[in-house]
Amino acid sequence: MMIDASSDHAVELKDAFSAFALVAEKLRAAYEGLQRTAANLDRDLADANARLKAQVEELENLSGSLAAVLRAIPCGVVVAGCDGTILMANPAAEGILERKGTELIGSAAAGLRDAAGRPLLLLADGPAEVQERVIENGCGVRVIDDRVVPVCDAAGNHLGLVEVLNDRSEVKALELEVKRLDRLAELGRVAAIIAHEMRNPLSGIRGFAGMLERHLQGVAGAETPRRWARRICEGVERTDAIIDSVLFLARPRPLARASIDAERFLCDAFECVAQAAPSLARGIHVSIAVHPPGLCVPGDETRLRQALTNLIQNALEALGGAGRLELAARQRARVVELEVRDSGPGVPAEARARLYEPFFTTKTEGAGLGLALVRRIAELHGGSVEMRPGIGSGAAFVLAVPAEALPAEACCS
């Protein structure tokens, strides 16, 4: 009996093809499933990327808005990490602290000091409520309100500190100016009462002392009583001048403006003081400079002379009979400056804040009205008075008035 081998091979081959087709179908189905899954994943990834992109754009917009807000707000904002290293400082903080961002960012907050050696920032001390403090830098003293608050993430983890600085220097200056004007107003009321109550008896004293001096003229042996009578008259005149100064401080009269030759004005002012107090001017080297030549000072000559002679007398008293005195007039932009500079010992640091207060003086004698009058006269002209470094350790006072005259109604404000 013979076996048909080809038939068996055909059957096996057919079964193999059937199995292969079945596997291929399964592979095709699996591939299609993978394609669908991949397509779904692509769509999910595309959606996720779109959402992430939108979130990134939103964060960038928020970051840009926050940066714009930090640039725009007048308060200084300084951010430090947990280790006290400064991470960010807005322009207002740079202005208040008078430090560039490149100096602040990356620096240790605890190591920054002002000109007086005090801490520039409070970040190193941790969170703190609002407190007022003073810092000193190149532009002078600043009064600031300070607050330090912690920065935490959503889980409450500590990330660092933020210090908020509010410069109150101008507000403080305005508050002091209001107090000064209130004191002047009160001084005006008191001065008016004093002037009314004292000038009549003072006039009587002056009159009788003058009569006594004339009566004793030519009387033998009456030279001493005549000198006493003259001293009484001089004392009354000084008292009357003090009353007049106090009244002018509180209730100034309108200014009589004119154009004053600066060189003549400086010479006349010095001569006036030198004649009144020759012992002060003796031995002093005096120089006078005017720039440009022919410069004129706009203002009330009588009042400006009163201010300038006060400054010159103060300088001569500080020199004590030896040293240099420099008088100058110059024009800077739209301002004319009158400067009195000396080589004396200068003004004590503790007295500088009160220099222009009425009745404040560092001298053993004097009413303490000189610099107060200088300031008042400068203000009435729409100008200012400023103390600057003098010759060596000395002092210089600069009285500045506008080069163009103010309207008449501003002259007696």
Supply the pLDDT for residue 327: 94
- The segments of the chain whose pLDDT lies below 70 read 1-6, 59-66, 139, 184, 187-188, 191, 196, 245-246, 249-251, 360, 362-368, 405-413
Q: List % helix, strand, coil for the chain (3-state, nearest 5).
A: 55, 25, 25
- Full-prediction pTM beyond 0.85? no
Q: Closest by alpha carbon to 74, among 57, 98, 51, 93?
A: 93
Structure tokens at 27: 């592979």
> Pairing relation of β-strands 76-81 and 158-167?
antiparallel
Rounded Cα gap, residues 226 and 306, in angstroms: 31
Q: Where are the alpha helices (DSSP H) in 155-221?
A: 169-216
| Alpha-carbon distances of 314 from 89, 277, 356, 357, rounded to whole Å | 46, 12, 13, 15
pLDDT tens digits, one per residue of 186-203: 766 776 777 767 777 877
Hey, what amino acid is at 374? V
Rounded Cα gap, residues 326 and 310, in angstroms: 15
20-34 in b/e form (b: 16+ CB < 10 A) is eeeeeeeeeeeeeee
pLDDT tens digits, one per residue of 163-185: 888 888 888 888 887 887 777 67
In angstroms and rounded to an integer, the radius of gyration of the C-alpha atoms of the chain is: 42
Any bridge partners for residue 254, and if so which?
none
Query: Quick one: 45 exposed, middle or buried, by C-beta within 10 A (0-12, 13-18, 19+)?
Result: exposed
Supply the pLDDT for residue 329: 94
Supply the pLDDT for residue 406: 42
